[in-house]
Amino acid sequence: MADGSSVELRPGREDTSERLDKFVAASLTDLSRSYVQQLIEGGQVRVDGVVRRSKFKVTPGEVVVVDVPPTVVEPLEPEDIPLDVAYEDADVIVVDKPAGLVVHPAPGHARGTLVNAMLHYAPGISIAGTNRPGIVHRLDKDTSGLMVVAKTDRAHAALIGQWAARSVRKGYVVLASGVVEPNEGTIDAPIGRDPIQRQRMAVTPKGRPAVSLFAVRERFAAATLLDVEIETGRTHQIRVHLAFIGHPVVGDPVYGRASTRRPGEPWAPRQFLHAARLGFRLPDGREVAFESTLPPDLVAVLDELRTGG
């Protein structure tokens, strides 16, 4: 979302009695909950025109307006944050991003991001005229897995070109709510801003083309483990597409609310979405491909499903 603007949110039935700070933070995923609480304390969040406290319980039919002040641009600071480096050469670094790590600075996340870590790890990284040095794609804060970062301008240009040409191979492991019946399928549905909940994405006729392909890896009583390949890279694409077909990502706080969990559906500590495979061409033309295993928190969810614990 853009800073220096006002955003209008409308609680749905699934948000009934949700705390105001939790509702806003779940709706505006670029803002941390602590930052949202600061906005509420500063009177920059109103419910039907009235300033409320963080613990206020929202109700469907209310209108929540969030005023996000302009960001004070600060120099990017290198930070010694541990990185799991899967591959590195003179041009690129492939990192296995943990869940909880924001990719680049944003309101409420001025420090402690992957960009801050990269500036410490590779001080000469490509700036390419941006305050997001080396970044050519991103993963949501609570999505784990593989990302490639450009160290040089030639790598940055080469990778941007591959993303534009849709030649990058991106594969995810996802736990979807409910039993997905076909063994494989294609979701071809345009994605754009939700016309009602503008802070979210949705399948909409006026959206941009988006294609996701899925194959069932394992079925459980109330969830299905999927391999998903995306041909496009729209914001929240997999989360939106799976919610659109009635099988939202398990643990997704935005497109699959906890209050709508099906009987027997597993609980997950975060959205069960992991970028497990990434393939692209290096600037010299060589094809490379990388794989990442599921992190322990997601393995634990599957173990519980398999043992019936």
Catalytic residues: 140
**How many whole angstroms separate alpha carbon 98 and alpha carbon 46?**
34
**How many whole angstroms separate alpha carbon 16 and alpha carbon 280?**
44
Please, are residues 66 and 28 in contact by the beta-carbon 8 Å criterion? Answer: yes
299-302 contacts at long range (C-beta below 8 A, 24 or more positions apart):
301/175, 301/250, 301/266, 301/267, 301/268, 301/269, 301/272, 302/175, 302/225
DSSP conformational letter for 217:
E
199-208 contacts at long range (C-beta below 8 A, 24 or more positions apart):
199/1, 199/7, 199/9, 199/27, 199/28, 200/27, 200/236, 200/254, 200/255, 201/234, 201/235, 201/236, 201/240, 202/240, 203/240, 203/241, 203/244, 207/234, 208/232, 208/234
Please, are residues 6 and 24 in contact by the beta-carbon 8 Å criterion? Answer: no
Closest CA to 126 of 97, 149, 95: 149
Length of the chain: 309
Residues with Cβ within 8 Å of 172's Cβ and at least 6 positions away in sequence, in order, are 145, 227, 228, 229, 230, 238, 273, 274, 275, 276, 277
To 5 degrees, how large is the angle CA 302–CA 296–CA 107?
110
């700070």: which residue's tokens? 21
